[in-house]
Amino acid sequence: MPPISRMAPPSWPDRLKRFDRVVIAIVVVLAVIFIISPEHGLETVLFALGNLFQIAPFVLFSVGIAAYAHASGADSLIAKAFEGRTLRMVLTAALFGALSPFCSCGVIPIIAALLSMGVPLAPVMAFWLASPVMDPSMFLLTSSVLGLDYAIAKTLAAIGLGLFGGFGILWLGRLGLFSRPLRDGVSNGGCAASSVRTPTPVVWSFWRENDRIVKFRKSGLATLVFLGKWLTFAFILEKLMLIYVPADMITTLLGGDGLAPIGIATLVGIPAYLNGFAALPLVSGLVDQGMQPGAAIAFMIAGSVTSIPAAIAVFALVKHRVFFAYLVFALLGSFAAGLLFQGFVTVT
């Protein structure tokens, strides 16, 4: 009898490939935190769970819409409604984004749903950039803490940033750089374009067909798991920054005169995430200490658009070139808003 050959056991790298890298990262980071400081570890877990609970209605609503559109076949119909109207949609998306009550994290599942349905990237980017900067409650609080001029400036900056990003993407898109913005396999984004090219009849009452019910469940669950793991990881990193990056360091960097504070405020605002509402008292204190108004606007806008949770979720959703364009538009737009506001204050 010939000897029975035995397969060699899989190596540890091969075994790790079977697990989700984001989940592994979450477990490793939390384990390290609990080993170093159990108190901070517990704070981090509670912080992440609290934020996930807070944005859960946005996530579930958006996931449901995306799953319904996919199961009923309405994704191709919705995408088709935007064909040939990109310019108008960019304008509408920028205005709606500046007035919508979505934070930088709450807008992520909506963006995923829009892109997965084949909606053009230009209006999506306009809404993406404008939405986290301003909303009705933020306008009222900004007016009360910093003054009406700051609230109006942030609103105009949100609209301008959306238009800048939307039309910028539209122009760059002519070079063929953003024809397929979503990563393959993200919310069925890899085949969204084909569903638009070959539309199928829409079955609004999809629950009458077993195949469509299964498609609804699978699509919704996949999107929910995807967003959940990435947002969890993002909130953990956000809490670590709040714990280990001293607020005094940010205060020191943002003081001074000239163009440098506006540039530094823009750069610091991108990684140094602060909740839009939590940033108001800090910025108010910095302004009282002599911080330039333009630097204050640049810091708040950059921090709102490119917060850690939003940036990581963007990176997980779209391809690298789209993520890079998102950061560049946010950086340049925030800096320009700061310069314009500083010039307005100086003249008046």
CA 296 distance to own-chain centroid: 22
- State how far the Cα of 348 lies from the Cα of 338, in Å rounded to an integer: 15
Lowest mean pLDDT: which of 29-33, 54-58, 143-147?
54-58
Q: What is the pLDDT of residue 105?
A: 61
Q: What is the pLDDT of residue 176?
A: 74
Q: What is the pLDDT of residue 27?
A: 93
Longest dimension (CA), the chain: 96
Lowest mean pLDDT: which of 113-122, 150-159, 188-197, 235-244?
188-197
- The pLDDT confidence band at residue 68, using thresholds 50, 70 and 90, is confident
- The pLDDT confidence band at residue 345, using thresholds 50, 70 and 90, is confident
Q: Is the pLDDT of residue 13 over 70?
A: no
Lowest mean pLDDT: which of 2-16, 49-63, 333-347?
2-16
- Quick check: 122 and 170 in contact, CB under 8 A? yes
Residues recorded for the chain: 348
- The pLDDT confidence band at residue 67, using thresholds 50, 70 and 90, is confident
Considering the chain, what percentage of its residues have pLDDT values greater than 70? Answer: 73
Q: Which two tokens stand for residue 339?
A: 């310069």
Q: Is the pLDDT of residue 149 over 90?
A: yes
Lowest mean pLDDT: which of 52-56, 327-331, 338-342, 343-347?
52-56
Lowest mean pLDDT: which of 163-172, 203-212, 237-246?
237-246
Q: What is the pLDDT of residue 259?
A: 82
Beta-carbon count within 10 A of 73 CB: 18
Average pLDDT, the chain: 78
- Which tens digits make up the pLDDT trace of 103-148? 666 667 677 777 777 778 898 899 889 888 887 767 887 888 788 9
Q: What is the pTM assigned to this prediction?
A: 0.69
- State how far the Cα of 296 lies from the Cα of 256, in Å rounded to an integer: 12
Q: What is the pLDDT of residue 164?
A: 96
Q: What is the pLDDT of residue 1?
A: 46
Q: What is the pLDDT of residue 139?
A: 86
Q: Which two tokens stand for residue 251?
A: 């205060």
Please state the three-class secondary structure of 210-247 as a single string.
HHHHHHHHHHHHHHHHHHHHHHHHHHHHHHHHHHHCCH
Q: Quick one: CA dihedral 47, 50, 52, 58, positive or negative?
A: negative
Q: What is the pLDDT of residue 49?
A: 93
Q: Is the pLDDT of residue 39 over 90?
A: yes
- Quick check: 168 and 34 in contact, CB under 8 A? no
Q: Which two tokens stand for residue 55?
A: 């944005």
| 32-47 mean pLDDT | 94
- State how far the Cα of 81 lies from the Cα of 279, in Å rounded to an integer: 38
- Which tens digits make up the pLDDT trace of 250-309? 566 666 667 888 888 888 776 655 556 556 766 776 777 677 889 889 988 988 887 766
